[in-house]
Amino acid sequence: MDAPTILITGAGRRLGLFLARHYLSAGWRVIVHYNTRNEMPELEQQRYIQASRYMAFQADLTSSRSVEDLVNKIHKLNWDIDAVIHNASYFTADDPSANLNERWQLQQDMTSVHILAVDALTHQLMSHYRDGASIIAVTDVYADKPNQRFATYCAAKAGLQNLCLSYAQRFAPRIRVNAIQPGPIQFLPEHSDEYQKKVLSQSLLKRELGYDSILQGVEYLLAAKAVTGSILKIDGGRSSANHYEQTFNDS
């Protein structure tokens, strides 16, 4: 039997790249999507290519033509797929001064990356999914508790999360579909100490969670054959802390 195969979107950097490296090291065949040429994953290692265990494809998920091209390339591999991690994301704040066309474009781009591309990849690759395959989407704590500065992003992530719940119903019992709702995983270099302290103060564990915490969640969802239609919160208790804070302020 062939090695298990996983497709990871948004694997050019950060969490996606971390997951791709892990599953290559674990003996999986890995298909990675990355957004732009300057994001090409640092995984172009000859031993993986020679072993036919690694393929990387660039695609702009805001473009239907680019997504279609990505689908066709994956089709040509003709690899049976055991797992998909929809990790690709587009994160930016809303601009209150944006005109109608700018706001419209932002909504389109957010919806394309988080919903339309996920829907296209899910349905167009359905014939390649093995029985018992697992689909996992990475959403955000903002999906349930939106931040007004990032309203468009929050709405798109909420849509992705809802899509997962619908897919869990649609594809059961053959395919399981779940979502991971992460909190503060790993700060960017440009995040100030003050910003980091503010974010961590909103969680119960008061610490940066790291990519390993998400990997543990992915491993759980891949192994837990009785779990589908679930939203796994890996947020250091941030969602609970916010709930308690709001309750206290309202009292």
Cα–Cα dist 144/127, whole Å: 32
Instruction: Tell me how crowded residue 222 is: count the other CB atoms within 10 A of its CB.
Output: 19
Residue 99 has which token pair? Answer: 């005109």
Strands (E), 74-227: 81-86, 129-138, 176-182
Residue with tokens 């005109």: 99
Cα–Cα dist 197/220, whole Å: 29
Instruction: Tell me how crowded residue 224 is: count the other CB atoms within 10 A of its CB.
Output: 14
Selecting among 153, 167, 195, 211, the annotated active-site residue is 153
**CB contact at 8 A, 137 and 158:** no
Helix, strand or coil, per DSSP, at residue 7 = strand
Q: Is 153 a catalytic residue?
A: yes
Q: Which of 48, 70, 77 is nearest to 116 (CA)?
A: 70
Which residues are identified as catalytic?
A: 153
